Amino acid sequence: MRALQITKYGDIKESLEIAEVDNPEISGSEILIAVKAAAANPIDYKIVQGHLKDLLQLDLPSGIGYDVSGEVVKVGDEVKDFKMGDEVFGRVPQEYMGTVAEFVAVDSKVVAHRPENVTFEKAASLPLTGLTAIQALEKVDLKEGDRVLIHAGSGGVGSFAVQYAKSKGAIVYTTTSSKNIDWVKALGADRVIDYKNEDYKEVANNLDIVFDTLGDDFTFEAFDIIKEGGKVTTIVGPPDAESAKQMGIENYELPEKLAKLIEEKSAKYKYTWMQPNAEQLKEIKEMIEDRTIRPSIDLVYSFQDSIKAYEYLATGRAQGKVIISLAETFEN
C-alpha cells in the first residue's frame, strides 16, 4: 500500500514522502480500515519538525496522522461491535499513528461508527479536535451559565469548542482575526473579539473559565481575567502533575510563576493530553447528526498532495480543518 512517511526530522517538504509499505496486519481485537480521509493536525508537523522528539520516540521512517474515517475491510476474531463494510471514524492511539495511508489497523475499542449525515472528509475532521475540546472542558466541569473565553475560535479545536460550550449553555467569548469574525459569529459565540483591533483582556474578564489553545504568555494572562476560584484549561501550556505523569515525565513540578498565579487566584489549572475515547466519539456523532455541531473544514487535498496539505497547515492560516482525501486511491 501507499503511505505518507516521515523519513527524518526537519523541513516538512524534505522530511515527508509517499512510499510503498506493507499492508498492516491485525490481531484479534483490531480492525483494518480502508482510509477514505484523514485530517492534518498541528501535532503532525510538529513531530516532523522534531519539536516532540523528547516525548515521542519514533523509529523512522514512520507513518503520520491520527485522525481517520473510512470503511472496515477486515475484523479480528474478538471484535464484536464492527463488521466488514461498516463506516467508522476515530483518533488512533500513538502506537497506531499513520492514518495518511491507504489502510490503517487500529484497536476496535477506540473508534465509532461515523455520523451518517456527513462525508468521510467531514467525519475525519472531527475526532482529534472534538475529543480535545470535550476533554479539556470536562476537566474544568463546564456547565450552563459559565462565562468562558475560548482562544482562537477559527482554529480546529477552537471552532469545535465554541459550538460545544454553547450547546452546554455557556456564555462564550472567543478571539479571532478580522477576516474570520463573521464566520466565527456563525458558530454561535456570544462575543467575538477581533484580536487585531481589540485587547481581549479588556473585553473578557471575571470569567469562570479560560480555554487556552495558544500557550506562551496567553497561559499566564488567563489568570488576569478569571474570577477568584476560576479555572484555566490548556492544551499547550505547561502540564499539570496528572498530565505530566501521563506523558511519562518524572519528578515534575509546575513552573514557579504558574504555581504562584494558581495560588493567588485560588484557581484550578488543568492540562489535557488528549486520549482516544470511543464513548466521546459516539457523543460527537450524535451532536453532528442532530446538527448541534457543524464540522469546520478549510481545504481538502488529494493524497498525492498530502505534503502540500502539511505545508499549508504550518502557515497557521487555516480556517477550520485541513483534510487529506484518499477516496480517489480506490477509484484509480
Q: What is the pLDDT of residues 265-291, one digit of tens each?
A: 999 999 999 999 999 999 999 999 999
Give the confidence band of 320 by pLDDT, cuts at 50, 70, 90.
confident
How far is the C-alpha of 71 from the C-alpha of 89, rounded, in Å?
9
* Stretch 119-146: mean pLDDT: 98
Q: What is the pLDDT of residues 15-28, one digit of tens each?
A: 999 999 999 999 99
- Annotated domain spans of the chain: 2-126+295-330, 129-271
Say whether the peptide bond before residue 61 is cis (omega within 30 degrees of 0). yes
Mean pLDDT highest for which of 294-298, 307-311, 312-316, 324-328?
307-311
Q: Residues 65, 29: contact at Cβ < 8 Å?
A: no
Topology adopted by domain 129-271: Rossmann fold (3.40.50)
Length of the chain: 332
* pLDDT tens digits, one per residue of 52-101: 888 888 999 999 999 999 999 999 999 999 999 999 999 999 999 999 99
Mean pLDDT over all residues of the chain? Answer: 95
Is-contact 16 5, C-beta < 8 A?
A: yes
Written out in words, the top-level CATH class of the domain with range 2-126+295-330 is alpha beta
247 confidence band (pLDDT: 50, 70, 90): confident
Which cell is 197 given? Answer: 483591533
Query: pLDDT band for position 332 (50/70/90)?
Result: very low
Distance (Å) of CA 50 to CA 10, 11, 133, 158: 6, 9, 25, 25
Q: Please report which confidence band the pLDDT of residue 331 belongs to, taking 50, 70 and 90 as the band edges.
A: very low
Whole-number pLDDT of residue 329: 59
The three-class DSSP label of residue 331 is: coil
Do the Cβ atoms of 301 and 17 come closer than 8 Å?
no
- How far apart are alpha carbons 135 and 141 in whole angstroms? 10
